[in-house]
Amino acid sequence: MNPLEPGETLDHYRIEATVARSGMSVLYRATDLANGKQVAVKVPHTEMEADPVLFERFKREEEIGQLLDHPGIVKTYNDEERSRVYMVIEWVDGRLLRTILNQERKLPIERAVRITLAICEALDVMHKHGIVHRDLKPENVMVDDEDRIKLIDFGIAMKEDARRLTYVNMTAALGTPDYIAPEQVKGGRGDQRSDIYALGIMLYEMLTGRVPFVEPNPLAAMNERLLHDPTPPRQLNPEIAPELEEILFRALEREPRHRYATAGEMAWELEHQEQVGVEDRGIRPVGRGARRVAVNKRVVLYAGLALLPVLLFGLMLLLARR
């Protein structure tokens, strides 16, 4: 089926403009002729409709958007018969957090914490409904002029009681390399603590202007978080308080059981930083001895990278058989 053009109608939605295209769908800005409101209309490609796995993923995204009712979570609508498969989504004004970071690189500490608290609130609602986003990143957070946020794109979100889907590629199965948690790198489904890890990386990026693990390729970035702790953020931005750095370390623990159990716990500590105890983590400044340790760790990294393709191939075979 040919793409829709501005001025065409789809049932009672008039297409105004093409907003984005992906490998699975096209997103349009449209006007609901029934009430004059702006909406977003996501139309899947024909081949997606024919693929049961991709189609179930599309329908799951729609279902999750209907289930959650919170100002920080984008809504989807399904209140009428439709002539073909498509999704109607709340139109969101604002800018992607990624756009803001590209323009400003890092944010003032107060603003970064404020945005993170808003994301924590939305995540807490999601998690209490048994839903894990699994692809939390700046590209999936809209921010308006008053720093109110909206979580978007639930394409690989998971309901805890849903069966596991077989995904067509590793990125779709795992999320985005810079933001996925170590357990997802290992092939785990992830749970709400995986979202907290991703949020920790986003806060780290907002405060320092870079993600914690900067490597030349996605496989190296994923493997790095299995072996190493992130560079202490205060080395990159000395204005970060020790208590805020501690919150970041707790969100970015490699083992899920050591992270915050809920987004609400993380939010409480962000709001009460003066009550956060700072642990002695034995982190040394970068120097000659630290460089020797770094060299040894890099040997381990390269050994891990040599094994990683084998592990990923095995994981793909396992996913394909489920």
Residues belonging to the active site: 135
Q: How many CA atoms lie within 13 A of 247 on its CB side?
A: 28
Token pair recorded at residue 320: 């394909």
- Using DSSP, state whether 280 is helix, strand or coil: coil
Q: What's the sign of the alpha-carbon dihedral 183, 162, 177, 261? A: negative
Q: How far apart are CA 58 and CA 49, in angstroms?
A: 9
Please provide residue 130's backbone torsions phi and psi, each rounded to the nearest 5 degrees.
75, 25
Token pair recorded at residue 74: 């984008």
Q: What's the sign of the alpha-carbon dihedral 145, 149, 153, 156? A: positive
Q: How many CB atoms lie within 10 A of CB 102?
A: 11
Token pair recorded at residue 166: 């077989």
Q: How many CA atoms lie within 13 A of 288 on its CB side?
A: 0
Largest distance between two CA atoms of the chain = 69
Q: How far apart are CA 288 and CA 313, in angstroms?
A: 38
Q: Residue 217, by phi and psi: left (phi above 0), alpha (psi -120 to 50) or beta?
A: beta
DSSP state of 170: H
